């Protein structure tokens, strides 16, 4: 029995020992960095049994685990590195661990310089077996929804790294939809839920962009073209100067003004820097501080105005409105408007500001500007484009024949 005690003790000692796994013997391979808008895409040859680390900083070089150097742990190829400054060069280096090992050798340093998107565009596959014209586009922060003629609705999860289709994991049709509903859908927004406006005044809502409900509380007017929300109020506009508001989608809609501010057709409405802006036929441009009382402004334009956006820079605001025949007008206060020499002569339908101003329109026409005054023409395909928005790091536009195009 006296021999059992030492044997048992040695077993305990053996069980208490910890054998650390050897680190990887080779550095990560195939490391590359591609520039995006305010971000970079780091790709590498990923091995299933390794855990990868990305180190990065502004400049031409970076040392792993140096004090103050940002780290991405558990990287997977392609790895998005976000919150970078456009126009600044960044250096990236990688190493890897295996199980609980120390880090293995570091890769060679690679560099790239993030830059604004909007200059080059790639097409996505047409949405739908029989693609309909798409009129509206909304983004929830994780999901994109496009709507169009003949009750067309598609939803896709935002995926910056995806290339097929670009920027979206997959476009999906609704999982549930009101039976027999076939109206054209002219607009869609996101405000805690997706809200789509039918041209016939109908209102559809969805929590996830896939299962949709038709509300009983419709707008009592046909020819409705656009909807927005802000300051606790939904605002919808349409043909003949129609403006309707509702504080809640379950509360009846109220027509604003027994005598309309304008009798021109209104094509867009937006809440821009706390100011509601509506645009329409023959240069019509209306503004409102609350969505209730509206004032007609001299847009200086004769052509139809179809989209609006704004930018705030160092406390100064710039509004940009676009329309037919390449029309672009700008304002710093929403009251006085100044025309800009058209960068292209075709009809422009929509504008957005992300990292820069981007406008789209007829025949896939597009243009971008860093200041709203000087514009560079580009192209986003051949289909007419109706709406454009900015999701993190990319612009996406939709239009005729189910077209969807992306600029990253």
Mean pLDDT of the region 85-93: 98
**Residue finishing a domain among 112, 130, 156:** 112
Domain match, 128 and 236 both: yes
With cut-offs at 50, 70 and 90, classify the pLDDT of residue 371.
very high
CATH number at 100 reads 2.60.40.10
Phi, psi at 88, each rounded to 5°: -110, 130
Q: Rounded to an integer, what distance in angstroms lies between the CA atom of residue 126 and that of residue 56? A: 38
**Percent of the chain clearing pLDDT 90 (strictly above):** 90
* pLDDT of res. 14: 37
State residue 259's pLDDT score: 60
Q: Is 252's pLDDT higher than 80?
A: yes
- Which residues lie closer than 8 Å to 170 by C-beta, 6 or more apart? 156, 157
Lowest mean pLDDT among 62-66, 140-144, 209-213, 223-227: 62-66
* Residue 196 and residue 93 share a domain: no
Neighbours of 83 (CB within 10 A): 9
Same domain, 73 and 140: no
DSSP-based three-state secondary structure for 362: helix
pLDDT at 314: 87
Residue 12 lies in a domain: no
Give the single-character DSSP code of 169. E
Q: For residue range 113-129, what is the model confidence (pLDDT) as tens digits?
A: 999 999 999 999 889 88
Q: Is 373 exposed, middle or buried (0-12, 13-18, 19+ CB in 10 A)?
A: middle
Round to whole Å and give the CA distance between 408 and 404: 13
| Predicted pLDDT of residue 20 | 74
The pLDDT, as a whole number, for residue 258 is 54
In whole angstroms, how large is the CA radius of gyration of the chain? 27
Question: Is 142 a residue whose pLDDT tops 60?
Answer: yes
Residue 259 lies inside a defined structural domain of this protein: yes
- 383 lies in the same domain as 332: yes
Q: What share of the chain is helix, strand, coil (3-state, %, to 5)?
A: 10, 45, 45
Instruction: Provide the domain limits for residue 39.
Output: 32-112
Asked if the structure places residue 178 within a domain, the reply is yes
Average pLDDT over residues 341-356: 95
pLDDT at 209 over 60: yes
Whether residue 5 lies inside any domain: the answer is no
Calpha distance 242→267 (Å, rounded): 10
For residues 330 and 373, the answer to whether their CB atoms sit within 8 Å is: yes
Q: Which of 69, 86, 112 is the last residue of a domain?
A: 112
Q: Are residues 191 and 301 in the same domain?
A: yes
The CATH number linked to 317 is 2.130.10.10
Mark whether 194 and 87 lie in a shared domain.
no
Domain final residue pick, 80, 112, 144: 112
Q: Which residue has the higher pLDDT, 343 or 356?
A: 356
The pLDDT value given to residue 277: 97
pLDDT digits (tens, 9 = 90+) for 312-329: 998 899 999 999 999 999
Neighbours of 251 (CB within 10 A): 11
68 and 126 part of one domain: no
Average pLDDT over residues 206-230: 97
Do 220 and 282 lie in one domain? The reply is: yes
- For residue 307, being part of any structural domain is answered with yes
Q: Residue 322 contacts by C-beta under 8 Å, 6 or more apart in sequence? A: 305, 306, 307, 308, 328, 348, 349, 350, 351, 359, 361
Cα–Cα distances in Å, from 231 out to 91, 240, 270? 43, 25, 12
> Is residue 74 in a domain?
yes
Mean pLDDT of the chain: 93
How many structural domains are present in the chain? Answer: 2
- Confidence label for 5 from pLDDT (cuts 50, 70 and 90): very low
Same-domain pairing of 160 and 249: yes
Question: Would you give the DSSP letter of residue 213?
Answer: E
Does residue 386 lie within any of the structural domains?
A: yes
Residues 129 and 95 in one domain: no
The mean per-residue pLDDT over the stretch 334-338 comes to 98
Query: Is 2 within a domain?
Result: no
Same domain, 158 and 81: no
137 lies in the same domain as 62: no
- pLDDT of 17 higher than 50: no
């Amino acid at each position: 029995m006296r021999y059992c005690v030492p044997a048992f003790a040695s077993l305990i000692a053996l069980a208490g020992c910890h054998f650390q796994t050897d680190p990887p013997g080779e550095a990560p391979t195939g490391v590359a960095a591609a520039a995006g808008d305010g971000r970079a895409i780091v790709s590498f040859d990923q091995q299933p049994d390794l855990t990868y680390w990305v180190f990065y900083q502004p400049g031409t070089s970076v040392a792993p685990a140096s004090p103050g150097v940002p780290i991405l742990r558990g990287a997977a190829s392609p790895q998005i590195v976000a919150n970078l400054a456009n126009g600044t060069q960044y250096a990236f280096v990688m190493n890897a661990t295996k199980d609980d090992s120390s880090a293995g050798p570091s890769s060679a340093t690679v560099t790239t310089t993030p830059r604004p998107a909007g200059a080059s565009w790639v097409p996505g596959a047409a949405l739908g077996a029989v693609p309909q014209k798409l009129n509206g586009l909304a983004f929830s922060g994780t999901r994109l929804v496009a709507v169009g003629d003949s009750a067309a609705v598609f939803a896709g999860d935002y995926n910056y790294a995806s290339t097929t289709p670009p920027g979206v994991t997959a476009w999906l049709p609704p999982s549930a939809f009101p039976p027999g509903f076939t109206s054209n859908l002219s607009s869609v927004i996101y405000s805690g839920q997706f809200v789509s406006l039918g041209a016939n005044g109908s209102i559809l809502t969805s929590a996830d962009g896939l299962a949709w409900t038709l509300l009983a509380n419709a707008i009592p007017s046909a020819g409705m073209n656009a909807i927005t929300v802000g300051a606790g109020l939904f605002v919808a506009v349409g043909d003949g100067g129609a403006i309707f508001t509702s504080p809640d989608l379950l509360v009846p809609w109220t027509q604003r003004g027994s005598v309309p501010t304008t009798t021109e057709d209104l094509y867009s409405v937006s809440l821009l820097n706390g100011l509601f802006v509506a645009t329409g036929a023959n240069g019509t441009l209306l503004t409102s501080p609350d969505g209730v009382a509206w004032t007609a402004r001299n847009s200086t334009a004769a052509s139809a105005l179809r989209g609006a956006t704004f930018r705030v820079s160092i406390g100064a605001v710039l509004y940009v409105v676009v329309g037919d025949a390449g029309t672009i007008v700008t304002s710093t206060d929403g009251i006085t408007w100044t025309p800009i020499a058209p960068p292209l002569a075709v009809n422009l339908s929509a504008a957005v500001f992300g990292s820069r101003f981007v406008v789209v329109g007829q025949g896939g026409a597009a243009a971008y500007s860093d200041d709203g005054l000087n514009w560079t023409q580009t192209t986003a395909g051949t289909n007419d484009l109706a709406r454009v928005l900015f999701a993190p790091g990319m612009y996406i536009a939709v239009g005729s024949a189910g077209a969807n195009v992306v600029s990253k």
